[in-house]
Structure 1
Amino acid sequence: MKAATALGIGVGLAGLAIGGIMEGTSPATLINIPALLIVLVGTYGATMASVGWGPMSKIPKLYQITFSPRQPDLRERVDLLVGIAEQARREGLLALDAQLGDIDDEFTRKGLQLVVDGTDPDLVREILEAEIDGMEARHRAGAAPFEKAGGYAPTMGIIGTVMGLVHVLQNLADPSSLGPAISTAFIATLLGVGTANLVFLPVAVRLKALSEEEVELRTLTLDGILAVQAGDNPRVVADKLISYVPPAERREADDENVTPLREAA
């Protein structure tokens, strides 16, 4: 499910809210401006100091990717590469040159262009593996702010609680105000731990999972491109690449599913 992350966060928040209400806590009590400033702004500042402005500026886009990710279709990529292998075997590698513009994926298009240009297979592998490594590095940088925030937020919550308790100790002369003041002080800890474990850390884990899925898709593509360059039989290419596809998503491969790129475009 594409919206699983957003749904999961919503379910977690709903569970906390319903549990709090059942225990007699009003959700309105959590709307504490000083605590929100200490936890959220403090966490933001500490995270920016750790990772720099570049990754921080991409946070809105990363949230969008997390909540509505583009799911890689391994089966579709297998079909594409098998079709390319059949056309290359029948018409030759140079025949693929006219069809490269029909391929939407930049990584696949780049790899096939190297093949059409007659690049040595070892060099093709080296170039494409460097592309995969670079993508992984960018994805790690994207997940870093959320990982850091997940570590800083609980600490900021404790700092907010300590600051609140200092204020409580300064007003011991008024015992009637101690209960509400202490309750308010601990809201900062709740916000810090809650945002870390319900938002920041789940988003970081989800971004890493999406990165792994993209790496798997590109690794499949790399193996397929090298098989095309080697002139492997399309059936062999299909058998080799289908191992990347989860069993539940596999379907019986037959001659009707092996479609040349020109006909599929």
Structure 2
Amino acid sequence: MDKLSFLGLFVALLAIGYGYSLEGGVVSALFNGPALIIVLGGTLGAVMLQTPASTFNKALRISHWVFFPPSYDINRAIEQVKSWSQKARQEGYLALEEIALTHPDPYVAKGLSLLIDGNSEQKLRDTLEIDLLLERERLLEASRVYEALGGYSPTIGILGAVLGLIQAMSFITEPEKLGAGVATAFLATIYGVGLANLLFLPMANKLKQQVEQKMLFHELLAEGIIAMSQGDSPVNIELKLEAYRVERPSQLQE
């Protein structure tokens, strides 16, 4: 769980609500159903219109990475590669077949399968690099869905404001109904700008960071598998992968 993401969202909402209340405002007045429907529905519809279904679905599937990111244990991965290398040196590449068939990561399973099949080092490297590039692009495409949400949201907020003002003008002679239209107008703008800058754009940037972490992890595994194809010893493989080893940062993520 990424506690910093939860904390950041909480701090942002708290600061806005508390600052508004310091000026005498009532926080409950910031909630307006019609304005929220206009902004969220309009923004979502616009993004659905421009995005392929496969990319949109992937964006939904990785959205939880913002608050519950995947865990990548670099040290454990290096130890795994070393153990695979030791097993291959002692028993041959065919000894890794069971690992290739049962490994939960398709990228690693494919790399080991190519190694077992006796592909050349260059073919192995080319295939793994192409898969890595394509995987990265697909995941970044999905993260850009949230950038698009952040781009359309303020504009839809302005649209909601105009609709609210149109409603208000239609009740110009009825003051008790005039206020509802004005409230919708202003709150639609707030929702549009707020959702873009407090949620959608930060989500897009956090997802991009998570994608890069996943690519770095897969790059480590690819380099390890390629080193195995070169016949490197477990010790030499560890030395090659040492640059990927990082100390666990003191951060709000566990």
Using the size of structure 2 for normalisation, the TM-score is 0.86
Answer with 225-234 or 164-173: which moved more: 164-173
Amino acid at match of 1:240: K
Report how far residue 85 of structure 1 moved: 1.9
Residue 256 of structure 1 corresponds to which residue in structure 2?
none
Amino acid at match of 2:236: V
Residue 159 of structure 2 corresponds to which residue in structure 1?
159
Q: Measure, in 1, the Cα distance between the counterparts of 2:84 and 2:176.
A: 78
Asked whether the 8 Å contact 1:83–1:234 carries over to 2, the reply is yes
Q: Measure, in 2, the Cα distance between the counterparts of 1:63 and 1:164.
A: 31
Report how far residue 58 of structure 1 moved: 4.4
Q: Measure, in 1, the Cα distance between the counterparts of 2:52 and 2:89.
A: 50
Q: Measure, in 1, the Cα distance between the counterparts of 2:210 and 2:146.
A: 14
Asked whether the 8 Å contact 1:5–1:203 carries over to 2, the reply is no
Amino acid at match of 2:196: A
Residue 246 of structure 2 corresponds to which residue in structure 1?
246
Question: Percent of pairs identical after alignment?
Answer: 35
Q: Measure, in 1, the Cα distance between the counterparts of 2:192 and 2:229.
A: 54
Q: Measure, in 2, the Cα distance between the counterparts of 1:6 and 1:228.
A: 41
2:104 is the alignment partner of 1:104: yes
2:145 is the alignment partner of 1:145: yes
Answer with 169-178 or 77-86: which moved more: 169-178
Report how far residue 145 of structure 1 moved: 1.9
Residue 43 of structure 1 corresponds to which residue in structure 2?
43
Q: Measure, in 2, the Cα distance between the counterparts of 1:146 and 1:41.
A: 14
Asked whether the 8 Å contact 2:34–2:184 carries over to 1, the reply is no
Name the count of aligned residue pairs: 249
2:190 is the alignment partner of 1:190: yes
Report how far residue 165 of structure 1 moved: 3.0
Asked whether the 8 Å contact 2:164–2:183 carries over to 1, the reply is no
Asked whether the 8 Å contact 2:65–2:210 carries over to 1, the reply is no
Report how far residue 74 of structure 1 moved: 1.3
2:36 is the alignment partner of 1:28: no
Which runs of no fewer than 5 residues in structure 1 stay unpaired?
Answer: 250-265
Residue 261 of structure 1 corresponds to which residue in structure 2?
none
User: How do residues 1-265 of structure 1 correspond to structure 2 at under 5 angstroms?
Assistant: 1-101=1-101, 103-169=103-169, 182-248=182-248
Which runs of no fewer than 5 residues in structure 2 stay unpaired?
Answer: 250-254
Using the size of structure 1 for normalisation, the TM-score is 0.83
